[in-house]
Amino acid sequence: MKIYIPSESLFTKDMNCEIEGGFLEFVKFGIIGCGAAAEFHSAGIEGAENPNVKFTGCFDVNKEVLETFSKSKRIPRYNSMEELLESDIDAALILVPHYLHATITKAVAKAGKHVLIEKPMAMTLEQCDEMIADTKKAGVKLMIAENHRFLPAHGVIKDAVKRGLLGDVFLGRTYEGAFCDASEFLDPDIWHFTYDKGGGGALFDQGPHKMAMLNWLLDSEVVSAQCWLGKALPSPPTKGEDSAMVFLRYKNGAMIDVVVSSTTVHPLTNSTELHGTKGSVFEDHSWELPVKIYTNLPDTEHSYEYHSPQVEHSPFPGYYTIAARVEDTYFADCIINDKEPEFTPQQAKEAVADIYLAYYAAKKGETATMDELRQYLKKHDSLSIMKGMDKVVQKNFGSMRW
């Protein structure tokens, strides 16, 4: 990956590279799946200065999508995934529907390429284990592109927690509201939010962001959960909830609520509050400066009044491309310097396990503990939890006027 780039070479022009000559280190990625996520990942790298990531190939089963993406992004396209994997790429960026995450990871690992794959890690906990085993066996790196672990705004919160500005966190809430076109729920042929291809509704789709972020910020683990699932749109039974509310209790005692929805009518945004024995943090991605910190510890920039640190941020869609750039270039750096990613596949699997715990609790209709889930999983597979889930979802659409 360390190659000499002569100035004015055709290669540098093709790659849109501004370096005039000298050594450049980068990782060649092939994109598998050229839909919505491919747009923000490629936009992120387009916006990077001298990126250590180059997209040198792409493939999508949908020929029209592939051609449009390849032309607009000037990334060479391949006729099959096999052809792409036979090319000289070092890694694949996998951006496909959830039910394909494990099988495509297996094929990529078998071809000896590193794997960066979008969240959620997989549709089942057993598939998460397979992905860990397959990449380990092939000796390639695996990271889940969990943008909430890489957002600079969340780095600021993590830093405040680490500095002790909040003291011991005992309370919090986090929200993601995403406006999706109603057809994503109403059209049975769109894979998003289906049980069989997506794994579940808004909670399965958006929830892993929240769990991965909270587990990291609190440096703790979920011990129990309660959950409500609702539909505000009259989607078919093959589609999961469009909104969810989860109450979590962490091992360190913190009580946190997680609210996600894919039908709220505002540009996509996220917000989080954490409250501790010494201070609080308020975050909202629709703000230009997304984080406010307050502490009663003396002698800090946040003492006795709200202070918003300067951080690279932009309301949606900006924060998506920022996070994609940070996570993609971080993974490339791990490959170049042979480091294990600090966001481990095991942590990504724990985020999926937290989601399964929430669904398990919704089905039970009362609080469920992680210990209980572990006992259940000794006798059943994780997918069995989702059986009959449509009956659990509250159908609220009868009185809704959209």
**Interface residues toward ligand NAD, by CB under 6 A:** 32-37, 59-62, 65, 81, 95-98, 100, 118-119, 147, 205
Q: How far is the CB of 70 from ligand NAD (least distance, A)?
A: 12
For ligand NAD, the closer of residues 58 and 358 by Cβ is 58
Map tokens 């052809």 to a residue. 83
Q: How far is the CB of 368 from ligand NAD (least distance, A)?
A: 25
Please say whether the dihedral angle defined by the alpha carbons of residues 134, 192, 67 and 144, taken in this order, is positive or negative.
negative
The torsion defined by the Cα of 129, 322, 175 and 97, in degrees rounded to 10, comes to -40
Nearer to ligand NAD, 72 or 367 (CB): 72
CA distances from 166 to 142, 162, 276, 300, 309 (A): 33, 9, 5, 12, 15
| Residue closer to ligand NAD (CB basis): 178 or 222 | 178
Copy the structure tokens of residue 287: 């703000």
From CA 230, how far away is CA 240, in angstroms rounded?
9
Q: Which is nearer to ligand NAD, 34 or 160 (CB)?
A: 34
For residue 17, what are its two tokens? 């590279």
Residue 205 or 350 with smaller CB distance to ligand NAD: 205
The smaller minimum CB distance to ligand NAD, of residues 30 and 276, is found at 30
Measured over the CA atoms of residue 175, residue 176, residue 182 and residue 187, the dihedral's sign is negative
Name the minimum Å distance from CB 37 to ligand NAD. Answer: 3
Nearer to ligand NAD, 60 or 390 (CB): 60
Helix (H) or strand (E) holding 203: helix 202-218
> Angle of helix 202-218 relative to helix 345-364, nearest 10 degrees?
120
Which one, of 85, 93, 103, lies nearest residue 69 by Cα?
A: 93
Strand partners, 245: 228, 259
Please report how close the Cβ of residue 95 comes to ligand NAD at its closest, in angstroms. 5
Task: Indicate the DSSP class of residue 297.
Answer: S
Compute the least distance from the CB of residue 320 to ligand NAD, in Å: 6
Q: Which is nearer to ligand NAD, 189 or 338 (CB)?
A: 189
User: What is the nearest approach in angstroms of ligand NAD to the Cβ of residue 231?
Assistant: 20
- 117 vs 227, beta carbon nearer ligand NAD: 117
Q: Tell me the residue nearest to ligand NAD as measured from the CB.
A: 35
How many residues are given for the chain? 402
Report residue 280 CA to chain centroid gap: 25
CB contact at 8 A, 34 and 61:
no
CB of 351 to ligand NAD, least distance (A): 12
Query: Which of 19, 329, 42 has the alpha carbon at shortest distance from 3?
Result: 19
Q: How far is the CB of 227 from ligand NAD (least distance, A)?
A: 20
CA quadruple 130, 132, 133, 139: dihedral, nearest 10: 140
- Which two three-digit tokens encode residue 250? 């962490």
Q: How far is the CB of 246 from ligand NAD (least distance, A)?
A: 18
Reported as type and span, the H/E element at residue 169 is: strand 169-177
